[in-house]
Amino acid sequence: MKIISYNVNGIRAAISKGLLDWIDAVSPDVVCFQELKATPDQIPLMEIEAAGYHHYWFPAQKKGYSGVGMLSKKEPDKVVYGMDNKKYDDEGRFLRADFGGLSVVSVYHPSGTSGDERQDFKMEWLGFFRAYVNELRLTRHDMVISGDYNICHEAIDIHDPVRNANSSGFLPEERQWFSDFLADGYTDSFRMLNKEPHNYSWWSYRANARANNKGWRIDYHIVTDSLKEKISDVAIYPDAVHSDHCPIMVELKY
């Protein structure tokens, strides 16, 4: 099973830049989208269906903001929209699909870059999210939690760890949260197979950051430890330029 995760930073803009052709060429089994900035009636669903995908959408209540989605070649047994928490679900941040014993999640963690209020919101979300998925894992043992976590976990995951030490997305408390979360029984699939530096999934639009590969790795396929021996391949696709993020891939022998 090949799973792609992609923060498209506006799915309509990404589609206008050739996103659907790229998906057709790569032919993943599942695609997890974040930051849709659109409602289903604004998305070319017939084109997606013609490409052979079932599709599921969980937009934010606020227009042009946030939202997650999922495409899958196989129809899931069950799809769950949100986490039964209105404060977070109104922002369209969590979508789960069950395929037999495997659950795939598309998640969009909040950013704290706009100020203290949203940083506080982000930290509260992280606590709720961790408790929620740990509870979920009691019944859904095998999970792939794919998406934009808005955190660089280690110094290797960011182009300038020294000057960004006090930046949202690389704060000590965020990085500690990530370590604690993984210690609960989860694996960063990319780092399991690839220990190399300079692998990033997001670049600022400023100062030619992408051309100079001055990026951040904030998009992840986090898998339950029960699946880590089933990881057969991982990849980041920086040449896909439909967004300020790029797609990431994990392949499982499942």
Active-site residue identified among 29, 142, 148, 244: 148
Rounded Cα distance between 233 and 114, Å, is 35
Q: How far is CA 171 from the centre of its chain?
A: 19
Alpha-carbon Rg for the chain, nearest whole angstrom, is 17
SS3 168: coil
User: For 49-56, which contacts have Cβ atoms below 8 Å and span 24 or more sequence positions?
Assistant: 51/20, 51/23, 51/24, 56/81, 56/95, 56/97
How many other C-beta atoms lie within 10 A of the C-beta of residue 115? Answer: 10
How many other C-beta atoms lie within 10 A of the C-beta of residue 12? Answer: 15
Active site residue 120: no
CA dihedral 227, 232, 234, 240 (to 10 degrees): -120
- Enumerate the β-bridge partners of residue 68: 34, 58
Q: How far is residue 70 from each of residues 38, 53, 104, 224, measured CA to CA in Å? A: 14, 9, 9, 20
Catalytically annotated residues = 148
